Structure 1
């Protein structure tokens, strides 16, 4: 196939001038491919290679095949960390979705100082995680923390918060919810702004109440935005490290040790690089599986909406 363009114009000598075009797009794509290979693909291939070896810092590397992966189910700390990760992720996704959607509905209405209050509401999202962790660590203090002081004002007993195995994960979820509910609010608020006014006008003519308007008009139309927020929050929560590490370091004991924290301990405390690489590969597969589940649910919901509309 010719790479030359059709004659654009005729020169003075009677010969047509032809526009030059490159024979391939590869010269333009190759630099990006090199960057992707160097930054993403090669590190993952090297991680998979390390997971197939017994590699401890200071010791020779030995090929062990799938031994590191077969070791995972019999590792009680890894199994426990998987449970902690799933519980932490589920709560850190569900609570911001509910509260963020409610906040979006509230801030979508018109009232005085709405813009100023929106700005205040999104401030937690702008703070650095370590600074947030240090502030909440002081608030969680059993004797000097403000949270127990507030509980005492309403006659409730003081709590140990992050210093007790039964309350440490809910306490960490409280910090996560406080910081990332504004993100969900902004995403859902964009969905509310995109809804046309005609459905609400029709519902008002038909005499629908507020709950019926929300249930049959608002909620179905903002569901795609809620799924986007859920996807972002799920990926962020399942790999959360900084806040948990800064507040509890996985404690008390290992009560708040997620996969990320256990991976850090294996790699940088016990220096078992091969086993840590196997944990990293399984951790990545878990993130992909959770994202695939959300995408599948979104796809089924989309087809259900189309079928019901038909």
Structure 2
């Protein structure tokens, strides 16, 4: 005899969802990645927007002496004064551009060469990789102090090595004309391994089929690199240029550790970062320094946009 299901024992059905709830659920499911990331994105946005907005406000005032002191709103007068400064600002802009361009060029070229050497396995490969990555272990300030001792004109090891080959001592960091190239060398020495890591990761992700096809067609090593490897690796190269370019633009620690206040007695390595730091903490001219930082910020945004636009073009 089969059991009879009565209304009291029959399982109750859940009420149907309203059209509004169903639409919200579908929308949330379609955009769940943005909903989960929204709190972190909002937190980061607040951390970025507030300092930039406060710096922008200070750049429109004559704040000096203390950020809490009374200041007067002067509009864009600071911008006119800074952009008309041919003694400190524009030379700092030129040094920033020269420093960034030179170190970026050599780091990408050397990084590409080293990454290609490490691309294929060989005996002792792990030890070579560890040795190449050693400069990244130390902090930039420690690296700057170390090279400052090496390039000391009197007791430095660099001039002692040159003496073994009959070459006279060089001023290195002490010379007006040699200080900036010397700091470029220090930056290249420390940060080329970072470019090597990025490019090596891109090389290991490439398929072997295009290389094998080019080898069967009789292409030489240079032809395979120029027409196969480099075009496939170009998006990764743009990423390396973007990351290192922005970082090189903001270089401060190595320059300050090697040359100190003002980028040297004659401002020989004074970039925009060093210049803005001196205005803030040496002369307490917060309005002018904020103006320099806002201009510098806009330059960085422009460089980021140009490189990102270039990368999107390559991805297509």
TM-score, normalized by length of structure 2? Answer: 0.86
Decide whether the 8 Å contact of 1:164 with 1:252 is kept in 2: no
Rounded Cα–Cα distance in structure 1 between residues aligned with 2:248 and 2:81: 26
In structure 2, relative to structure 1, the CA distance for the partners of 1:28 and 1:98 (3 Å cut) is closer
1:235 counterpart = 2:243: no
Please state whether the residue corresponding to 1:62 is helix, strand or coil: coil
Rounded Cα–Cα distance in structure 1 between residues aligned with 2:14 and 2:55: 57
What is the correspondence of 1:167-206 to structure 2 with a 5 Å cutoff? 167-206=178-217
Q: Which residue of 2 aligns with 1:99?
A: 110
RMSD of aligned Cα (Å): 2.4
Q: Which has the larger radius of gyration?
A: 2
Q: Which residue of 2 aligns with 1:207?
A: 218
Rounded Cα–Cα distance in structure 1 between residues aligned with 2:10 and 2:72: 74
What is the correspondence of 1:16-35 to structure 2 with a 5 Å cutoff? 16-17=14-15, 31-32=39-40, 35=43
Q: Which residue of 2 aligns with 1:62?
A: 72
Rounded Cα–Cα distance in structure 2 between residues aligned with 1:34 and 1:297: 28
Q: Which residue of 2 aligns with 1:256?
A: 269
Q: Which residue of 2 aligns with 1:71?
A: 81
Q: Give the alignment partner of residue 119 of structure 1, picking from 109, 119, 130.
A: 130
Q: Which residue of 2 aligns with 1:51?
A: 59
Rounded Cα–Cα distance in structure 1 between residues aligned with 2:110 and 2:98: 18
In structure 2, relative to structure 1, the CA distance for the partners of 1:224 and 1:130 (3 Å cut) is same
Q: Give the alignment partner of residue 285 of structure 2, picking from 269, 272, 279.
A: 272
Rounded Cα–Cα distance in structure 1 between residues aligned with 2:110 and 2:310: 21
Decide whether the 8 Å contact of 1:53 with 1:64 is kept in 2: yes
Q: What are the superposed Cα offsets for residues 36-60 of structure 1, whole Å, 9 maximum, x if unpaired?
A: 3541111211111111111112542
Please state whether the residue corresponding to 1:63 is helix, strand or coil: coil
How far apart are 1:89 and its partner, in Å? Answer: 0.5
Rounded Cα–Cα distance in structure 2 between residues aligned with 1:160 and 1:132: 19
How far apart are 1:12 and its partner, in Å? Answer: 4.0
Segments of 4+ in structure 1 off by > 6 A? Answer: 19-30
